[in-house]
């Protein structure tokens, strides 16, 4: 999809009577009613953006399956107003189905190729009716959106985008070999869970959020119970505890997994008080790694990372356990540490040993792995060279699994994602067969070489399916 074809398509729309609908509110940089936004509405707003009349525009893509993308709407609204750039808020489903008109479909695929469906939310910078550079992905507060989008817009004003960083769009996964795997089990679901689900180690339960409620769902019985929090109820790699962001940025909450399951079977888990609330970690999307443990399991050191509002940051803790495995004490070992402060990173997630972090480098649009050093220093140790969803580590860190546009379907103009595994030792990327989903999907490693992933239904209430496969090593 080239820039000229998108602009030409919009001019075609203009001749069809769609031009001239650039609302006065848009001209002034005000935000339009997101409930009325659609691909057609975006095209109408861009119809005036012809070569003789250049203009800047922001497109924010949200998904109801990603709660933070909904929560981020007022943040991008505030940022767009501060930047003085008009904004369209586009529902993700508008990009997953072909548009009826050729010009609209050209606009849809231009947004897809810019990375608008890699993760939600995604912000695409547009100039003269066409996307420029990689989408900016992940929830961010208004001031961060402003600080990251401002230089991009300034680059466009200077007319430097054609030869600079913004002109380069990172590729999605191309046509790669399929990995020979074994399907171990399928788990039908009555509806589509949140895209970011996690399995509770040592159990048959997965955690996910739906309608601002966290659930623990038994894969075999389909029984579920609600748990504390609103999103991202994330277990430790050993299944000892869960962490979840507190409401209104109150701090990270820690819950005993044993207490959660004891009370959950009685319907009381949601009323549990947290063991600890760390008020210094106020962000979302936590991940947990195990730094080390005593042989008898009496002491374990964990690292917990959060991100978004204050950048990627982590803190270390020591947990004490009695002989039955109950948590008896939790102590922080240091102050929170900002990781990779000189980089613009999105979608960070810790390795299982807590010493590495995968994240998307917004300068290149590619997913990388960074080694965490003292005082938040980090060293890039691997670059996938691709746009991906959150990338999860297997237990020894040699493999990364992620979602990206299905390379088998990319040539057909299909934005649907599939699951891929990359071996960091060899650099080889392989595709998991029959993993194409109709919505964003983020895989989860189960054990040393098994993988759990979601194949979503077409709509939120349509049946979905979780698939468990091996052996991906």
Tens digit of pLDDT for each residue in 261-302? 999 988 999 999 999 999 999 888 899 999 999 999 999 999
Q: What is the pLDDT of residue 99?
A: 85
Q: Which helix (H) or strand (E) holds 261?
A: helix 257-264
- Does pLDDT of 417 surpass 90? no
Strand order across the 182-189 sheet:
182-189, 464-470, 450-455, 444-446
Residue that wins the pLDDT comparison between 242 and 22: 242
- The pLDDT, as a whole number, for residue 34 is 42
Tokens for 328, please give them: 């008896």
pLDDT attached to residue 26: 37
Residue-level pLDDT at 50: 59
- In DSSP terms, which residues pair with 429 in a beta bridge? 422
pLDDT of residue 28: 36
Q: What are φ and ψ of residue 362, in 5° steps?
A: -70, -15
CA torsion 300→278→263→202, rounded to 10°?
A: -30
Max mean pLDDT among 56-65, 125-134, 322-331, 443-452 falls in 322-331
Phi, psi of 24 (to 5 degrees): -55, -35
Residue-wise pLDDT tens digits, 207-217: 998 878 999 99
pLDDT at 16: 38
Instruction: Check whether 20 has a pLDDT greater than 50.
Output: no
The whole-model pTM stands at 0.85
> Residue 78: enclosing H or E segment and its boundaries?
helix 73-83
pLDDT computed for residue 415 by the predictor:
75
Q: Whats the size of the chain, residue-wise? A: 473
* Structure tokens given for 434: 């029959």
Considering 3-12, 103-112, 409-418, the range whose residues carry the highest mean pLDDT is 103-112
pLDDT of residue 166: 52
Q: Which of 33-47, 50-64, 349-363, 444-458 has the lowest mean pLDDT?
A: 33-47
Confidence (pLDDT) at 80:
95
pLDDT number for residue 363: 87
Give mean pLDDT, residues 181-196.
Answer: 87
Give the full edge-to-edge strand order of the sheet including 252-256: 234-235, 241-245, 252-256, 276-278
Inform me whether the pLDDT recorded for 320 exceeds 60: yes
Q: Is 255 exposed, middle or buried (0-12, 13-18, 19+ CB in 10 A)?
A: buried
pLDDT the model gives residue 97: 81
Residues 6+ apart with CB under 8 A from 458: 438
């Amino acid at each position: 999809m080239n820039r000229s074809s998108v602009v030409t398509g919009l001019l075609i729309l203009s001749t069809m009577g769609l031009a001239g609908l650039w609302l006065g509110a848009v001209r002034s940089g005000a935000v339009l009613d997101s409930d009325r936004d659609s691909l057609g509405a975006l095209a109408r707003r861009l119809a005036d953006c012809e070569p003789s009349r250049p203009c800047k525009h922001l497109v924010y893509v949200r998904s109801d399956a990603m709660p933070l993308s909904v929560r981020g709407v007022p943040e991008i609204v505030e940022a767009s107003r501060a930047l003085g750039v008009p904004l369209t808020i586009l529902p993700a489903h508008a990009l997953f189905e072909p548009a009826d008109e050729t010009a609209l479909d050209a606009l849809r695929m231009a947004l897809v190729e810019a990375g608008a469906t890699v993760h939600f939310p995604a912000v695409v910078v547009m100039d003269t009716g066409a996307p420029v550079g990689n989408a900016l992905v992940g929830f961010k507060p208004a001031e961060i959106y402003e600080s990251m989008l401002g230089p991009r817009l300034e680059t466009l004003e200077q007319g430097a985008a054609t030869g600079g960083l913004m002109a380069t769009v990172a590729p999605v996964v191309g046509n790669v070999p399929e990995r020979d795997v074994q399907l171990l089990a399928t788990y039908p679901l009555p509806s589509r869970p949140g895209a970011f689900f996690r399995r509770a180690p040592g159990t048959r339960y997965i955690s996910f959020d739906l309608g601002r409620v966290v659930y623990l769902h038994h894969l075999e019985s389909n029984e579920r119970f609600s748990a504390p929090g609103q999103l991202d109820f994330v277990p430790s790699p050993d299944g000892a505890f869960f962490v979840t962001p507190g409401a209104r940025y109150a701090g990270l909450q820690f819950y005993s997994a044993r207490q959660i399951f004891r009370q959950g079977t009685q319907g009381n888990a949601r009323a549990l008080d947290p063991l600890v609330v760390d008020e210094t970690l106020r962000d979302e999307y936590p991940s947990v790694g195990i730094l080390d443990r005593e042989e008898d399991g009496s002491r374990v050191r964990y690292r917990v990372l959060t991100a978004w509002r204050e950048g990627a940051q982590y803190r270390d803790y020591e947990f004490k356990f009695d002989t039955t495995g109950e948590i008896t004490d939790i102590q922080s070992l240091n102050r929170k540490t900002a990781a990779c402060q000189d980089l613009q990173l999105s979608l960070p997630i810790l390795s299982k040993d807590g010493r590495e972090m995968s994240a998307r480098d917004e300068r290149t649009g590619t997913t990388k792995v960074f080694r965490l050093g003292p005082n938040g220093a980090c060293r890039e140790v691997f670059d996938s060279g691709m746009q991906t969803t959150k990338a999860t580590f297997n237990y020894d860190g040699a493999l990364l699994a992620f979602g990206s546009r299905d390379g088998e379907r990319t040539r057909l103009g299909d934005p649907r994602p599939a699951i891929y595994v990359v071996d960091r030792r060899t650099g080889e990327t392989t595709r998991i067969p029959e993993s194409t989903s109709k919505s964003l999907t983020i895989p989860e490693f189960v054990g040393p070489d098994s993988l759990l992933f979601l194949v979503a239904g077409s709509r939120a209430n349509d049946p979905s399916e979780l698939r468990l496969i091996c052996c991906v090593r």
